[in-house]
Structure formats: structure tokens, C-alpha cells
Amino acid sequence: MEDILSRGGDREPGRRRPWLVAVAIVVVAGLVVVRYLPGDPGRRPIQVVSGQLVPRLLPSQAGLRARSGEVAGPGLPVTSGIRLPVAGPQPVWFWPATGRTRQIGGLPWTGAGYAFLPAVGGWALVRSTFARTACRTCAGSALPVYFLADRADSARWVGTAAAVAPAVAAGALWLISYPPGANPATAAGTAREVSAGGRPLGRAVRLPAGYTIYRATEAGLLLTPVLQPGGPAAYLLWNPGSGRIGRRFDDVIAASSQQVAWMPPCARRCVTDVADLATGQVIVVRLPIREPAADAAFSPDGRYLALQVIVDPQGNDGGLAMQLEVASLRTGQVSQVPGIRVSSDALIGFGWPDGTDDLVAELSFPAEVQVAAWRPWAARPAVAALAPGQGTTGLVVG
């Protein structure tokens, strides 16, 4: 039986690395650059179309359900209540199981759209702009920042910032600003933690010059250079009180408030190291031989790590493929997500929405876009098929 998720011509991928989880709003060549979700330079940015984005289910595929030969796992009914945000000039909630949409309140319409950043308990949203400036490397104007809680009907205005990063507490964010006309690649930014309603939490801190916040952890702020040099990307665990660097990580592929995962160079086989920041313990996740992880995401409860693995060349065309695997950080067991083995450009994104242990992936094929939901160790994922084009642009799956 043909695997409905294992299709699409294999094409050479851009190796997907987390950029700044902080949504750095840096003006380059006169245009504001904002990225949606961590990814490599080849990952598509938020695409904006005129009018409201309304996802459409193919009539024959309505409902998030198992197809022929597939079985939804225990605890994941085919009428799953998973809902996902859709970015755009006026963001909406979208239920893949039914195709229903509902506008997210509290967000003014903007032709430039919104960028979504995963945060504890929801998302930070940055209102983008097409403003131009005479300086090609200096920071742009501070832009409005909002917080959208999981399953909330409306987003809340938080403040304005040149960049934003997740804090440790649910709903809290770090807002980063720069002096007018400063170059973020060399200047020292100022960061302040605020609540979901914009209330300051503690005093402002001055960041090391040229660095921004990747995310906050219980052991300090995880920093990364605004502009990454060649070679391994350096992430510094920095104590804002003492100004000291506690640890350095190279090539981080995922981070939460308690854990950091990074990808050492592959030797005889590839591994991903996961550090518990509270205990210092490092867990080694052993991957298939010579198949490196390009990206990863921790589940909200920290029990699982989803990994996007680059598969060795297969078939006569010598192309590369991607597959999703999930590691249990309690047992060390690694399991491939059944059926999700696709060409490099078909896996658009993945994550753990709604604070659950349901891993959701977006896959794009010429005829349709698929949303697959999988609970770890279930027999098969449940799949919903969407019409491509308008309505599937800007789907936020993690």
C-alpha cells in the first residue's frame, strides 16, 4: 500500500537551523526582515496575500481522520479538537478537523502581516512593517508586540520592541530595544521582561554588544549573536545579574526553559545531546547512522524531543529526504513518526501546539497541503488534507 505521506520528489534541502527564536526586526537593504518560527535562511518567510486567509478543506478529505490503512493512536480521536493559528493581515484560528475558522481578536489589520513566535503558554506576535530607512544595517523602529495564549479568543497588547524572546513564565516575554540608528550586530541592546499584559517584571538589563536573546531559561538567558559568523553557531548561557557566561553551546537545534538540545559533529554515528539545565545532566539521543538532525522541538512537558532528521540519499536520483523522529527523554527510546518521510521541501514545519503531547506537522505537496497529528508511539498519524494556495499560507503548527 502506498504511504500517503512518503511522496514528493527528493530535492536538495537547505540545512534547517534555528535562527533567532527572538524575532529580530533588523532592517537590511531597506526592508524589514521578520521570520516565522526558527528555521534556516532557505525557509519560507510568512507570505501575505490580500484579504483574510481562510483555509479550505478538500470536500473529499473533510475532517482530521485516519485514511485507508491508517489508525489514529489511543487518546487521539479522529475528531481531535486541535486548532492552529493562521498568520496573515488578520490572523485566524483554524480547526483542521472541521475546516472551521474564527478571527483572533485584539489584532489590528495590517497589510504586512504578523510574525508568530512560540512562547510558554502561547505565542508572541510581532506586527510587521514595510518601513524603509536610509541605514541598511541599523535597527528599525520598535514595533507592536502582542501575546496570544493557547486557545484564547483574543491577543493582548504587550508593548513595543525591536526584538522579542520567550521568558520562563507562561505569558511572559523579553522585549529588546536598541538606541536609534544603532547596528544590532555591534550595539548593546536593552532587554526587559514583561507580563502578557505589558507589566514590567524586574529591572531592565543591558545585553552584551552584538548579542540578542534566543530564549530565557531557568539557568539564565540563552544568547546568540545577531549575525552568525561562519562555522558553528555559538549560544551563550548568560547570567544577567552577574554578567557572567555559565556555558557555551554550539549548533543548538532546540531549547526550552529547562533543556537545551544541540547537534555535535557526526562521527561514526550522529547523536543529539540534551542538557538538563537544573541538574547539568546530559542525555545522548542516538540517531540513525550518519543521519543528522536539522531541527528539533521539545514537547511542552519536556518528556519528548521531536527531531527532523536528514535521511541519506535514496533511489536513483540521489536526492535527500526528511523524516520526523521522536525521542523519549525519560527512556532514551527513539521512534520514527510513521509515514512521514518526505522530500526536503515538503516538510514545512512541526511542533506541539495547544500545550499537548500531540505532535503536529505541516506537509506541502503539489496537489494538497496535509496536517498530520501524531501522539508518541501511536500506530499511525491522523491526517487532514487542505487545498493548496490561499488558506494554507501562514499556518502555525508549533
pLDDT score, position 139: 59
Q: How many domains does the chain fold into?
A: 1
Least confident of 73-77, 192-196, 209-213, 252-256: 73-77
User: What pTM value is reported for the model?
Assistant: 0.80
Domain assignment present for 175: yes
Say whether pLDDT at 49 is over 60.
no
Compute the average pLDDT of residues 25-50. Answer: 28
Q: What is the pLDDT of residues 309-361, one digit of tens each?
A: 988 655 445 557 889 999 999 888 899 998 888 887 888 899 998 777 889 99
In Å, what is the CA distance from 279 to each residue of 29, 131, 276, 394? 44, 46, 6, 38
Domain assignment present for 41: yes
Domain assignment present for 132: yes
Domain assignment present for 344: yes
Least confident of 175-179, 186-190, 339-343: 339-343
Strand pairing partners for 308? 295, 324
Domain assignment present for 155: yes
Domain assignment present for 122: yes
* Cα dihedral 338/344/348/351 (nearest 10): 50
pLDDT score, position 157: 95
Q: What is the pLDDT of residues 272-323, one digit of tens each?
A: 999 999 999 999 999 877 789 999 999 999 999 999 998 865 544 555 788 9
Map grid coordinates 539564565 to a residue. Answer: 220
Domain assignment present for 15: no
pLDDT band at 74 (very low <50, low <70, confident <90, very high): very low
CATH of the domain at 73: 2.130.10.120
Residue 164 in contact with residue 173, Cβ under 8 Å? yes
**Helices first, then strands: H and E counts in the chain:** 0, 29
Domain assignment present for 36: yes
pLDDT score, position 102: 93
Say whether pLDDT at 146 is over 80.
yes
297: three-class secondary structure by DSSP: strand
Say whether pLDDT at 35 is over 70.
no
The residue range of the domain holding 38 is: 26-386
Nearest Cα to 23, choosing from 122, 178, 183, 145? Answer: 145
Compute the average pLDDT of residues 158-172. Answer: 94
